[in-house]
């Protein structure tokens, strides 16, 4: 179930800051039509940090509704407070999601033992599979392979989104867990290499813009055609970098609006609209990648 290209979906908003559910429905349909293997709803790219619980839960609920069972939806449920992460998980357990994505607690800088206790408490509170999420560039705290291995013994903890961009980290962790433990790349720039080294898929920001290419890359890797996978990846490699010139999801939202897929590129404060130089740069990259004619 947790294999292939999962898009880390943006949360579209109107210029007044309200959630744009009509664009959300259009985006879900866009991904179904273009072969995405799944959706991650209200993760980092979905601005989870600035959505209150009520909106967070409703966006996930609507995303599942719009997907109509055609592709699985994973819900972001992480928080730096264990009790809040458990509350979110409990509130979304009846939405029809297939899994939770739970990030290493940010700001608190927990010890490795603290991470173990945090994630086990979350997993104990749900019957839905939990994917761990390690992104030290945002959380500061880094979940080590030995910690992942300890957590992997919990029956509800089934995989890891690894956004370190370090393939040696993938290899080190693979040696410590069972063969059915799922590894998903959270770093688009190294996603293809991640797949070539035994990864099971990607949770991708780039897939917001080029879902077909990301899905095709994964499909080629699963068919062991790594030459084709690398060829596809090279065609969109510029996007992997350009989309992160400013903090995610500033530029993905601008690009989707430019593509006519959303009504605005509005972001919740403290994020603001991208700089003109960034817009010009990514527009060039989009044209060279064939995204814009």
> What amino acid positions are annotated as catalytic residues?
133, 161
- CA atoms of 166 and 46, how far apart (whole Å): 24
Can you state the angle between helices 112-124 and 82-92, rounded to 10 degrees? 30
- CA atoms of 136 and 110, how far apart (whole Å): 12
- CA atoms of 263 and 26, how far apart (whole Å): 11
Q: Is residue 203 marked as binding?
A: yes
Q: Is residue 97 marked as binding?
A: no
b/e for 65-77, b at 16 or more Cβ within 10 A?
bbbeeebbbbbbb
As given in the structure block, the two tokens for residue 206 are 């780039």
Which residues are paired to 130 by β-bridges?
100, 157
117: which residues sit within 8 A by CB, 6+ positions away?
A: 82
Enumerate the known binding-site residues: 45, 203
Enumerate the known binding-site residues for pyruvate: 45, 203
């Amino acid at each position: 179930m947790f294999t292939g290209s999962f898009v880390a979906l943006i949360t579209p908003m109107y210029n007044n800051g309200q959630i744009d559910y009509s664009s959300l429905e259009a985006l879900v349909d866009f991904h179904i039509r273009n072969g995405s293997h799944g959706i991650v709803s209200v993760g980092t790219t979905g601005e989870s940090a600035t959505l209150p619980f009520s909106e967070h839960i409703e966006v996930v609920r609507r995303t599942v509704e719009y997907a109509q069972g055609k592709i699985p939806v994973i819900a972001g449920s992480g928080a730096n407070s264990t009790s809040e992460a458990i509350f979110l998980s409990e509130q979304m357990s009846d939405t029809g999601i297939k899994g939770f994505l739970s990030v290493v607690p940010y700001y608190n800088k927990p010890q490795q033992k603290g991470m173990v206790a945090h994630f086990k408490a979350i997993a104990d509170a749900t019957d839905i599979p939990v994917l761990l999420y390690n992104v030290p560039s945002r959380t500061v705290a880094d979940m080590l392979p030995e910690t992942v291995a300890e957590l992997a013994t919990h029956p509800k903890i089934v995989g890891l989104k690894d956004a370190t961009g370090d393939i040696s980290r993938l290899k080190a962790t693979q040696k410590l867990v069972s063969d059915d433990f799922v590894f998903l790349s959270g770093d688009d720039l190294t996603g293809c290499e991640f797949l070539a080294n035994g990864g099971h898929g990607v949770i991708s920001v780039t897939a917001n813009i080029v879902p077909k290419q990301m899905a095709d890359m994964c499909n080629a890797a699963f068919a062991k055609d790594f030459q084709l996978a690398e060829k596809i990846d090279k065609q969109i490699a510029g996007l992997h970098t350009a989309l992160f010139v400013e903090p995610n999801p500033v530029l993905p939202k601008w690009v989707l609006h430019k593509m006519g897929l959303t009504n605005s590129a509005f972001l919740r404060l403290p994020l603001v609209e991208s700089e003109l130089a960034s817009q010009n740069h990514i527009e060039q990259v989009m044209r060279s990648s064939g995204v814009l004619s």
